[in-house]
Structure 1
């Protein structure tokens, strides 16, 4: 039996502030009907003033550790594209706040594919014997990067954190990660970006325009790329795993919007009900979307032990990736609570 990284804990957290479509319609040229028709989103959660990606990551990590029955891990990998600061990385502070001691901790930036990339990184640490346990977190406070008057992006994104604990185990046991597929295309990097704030802009010595400090996306082209890349990546992972598409119980894709999920389902020829979705109440939570969808799937009973599951993401870079596992039996821990708490009792809404 080969050594493998096995999912041993799951946790998620979204901030308590609910932002409904009707609230956005009060300040933007939009409506609840327009947003739902184009995205499938009814509401999303946003951070409160002073709340950050690190706060989301800590709460999600705490719940994942509790789910795994652990107080410590050997490493922390945090996927985010909205770090608390440009420098240093957010992960070391998350590890300290969780009381994990001087373990290696670092960030991975792959936007909405970030969680898959971070999972691959954590699994690599386990496979190499560099770690017996790894906390992998996806967290983003992406609302902080959105232009206040941009209807095309402001209605889509929500904030949140999701996490899993990986442990060393056997490649034949439930929860073992397999079939990894990753890819990127930097020639299309300008499709999804925050133009200003990096070394390229800062080295010019020219102050950034205000509009260039916010997130931008070329929606129609991104839609086509997302559908194609996630569908192709899923097919590659299923083949590498030795399964076939008809065997997959649950496809857990990045929650970009409902139309993209439906289009991927059509392209793969699989029933839409096999594709877990929490987009209606979460929005697009970027690196947190896959683990939050897992947590909500466990809460709803849609995701059960023994299910064959494929995870897939697509995001800026462009980047994409996927992997597979047989879903294990995990202790459940709450995703949403009015205030951050040291521990929780069940996955899902309070």
Structure 2
């Protein structure tokens, strides 16, 4: 990694956000070459991957908590934009996905034995990796499942972050039938194996859906770039969740709603107007007290992968919120 005092890309050089029409630009490629990519061991012996980059005269440190199936590689464009705005960045691959250790024999299964492990891993990340680098203002940015993890972390570890912004947080999952019924069904079908768990009904290994059938974004350019990444790096591929993951995540979503209502730092929910993956009504339930909600028009679930207009709206709101 280059000397933090002499970054190859200055945060003061350009302040406009990147565009879907100029993905993987020479500037973005140069930035990514500066990013440190490493891993650390959890208390139970797993290897968790992370990425980081610092700069001189930083405005603070943004820590990214990614969603299910994701890796820090997916956030290269977002990290590029936030770095140019003057922030240091840290991003973690949660256990069982990205470049982090898998916990199941089939590496495509999205599985967790206890949702709390994600939160404990994040605490290890903050304690062992982020805080030793520098003590300054920390801001938490999470997406989807990463928002649930982040919310529970904030509730359990107050005083670490100055504020937080969550993109389409998974406070509830869009389900075809009532939540109570789905949870009971998944619990009954769960084979309770950590190495050989079973998929949810209809679950399967990684499969790249055609853009026309995707629920993630309206931006074909960013969607194709995302799928190309997972094709080029098969280790990042992850399929459907297991029954046990679903039970744990339904319960964690409810816990996160209650936690968000009582968190004592400013918290902003960026809600995707066209979301078909997580439940917007659950996010609305969470938005009281210091937790505010902003709906992003014309956006599907992946707000930071959306078309430029929606994405720029979200990024502007994020930056204004953490500056306040």
Higher strand share: 1
Normalising by structure 1, we get a TM-score of: 0.30
Give the TM-score normalised by the residue count of structure 2. Answer: 0.32
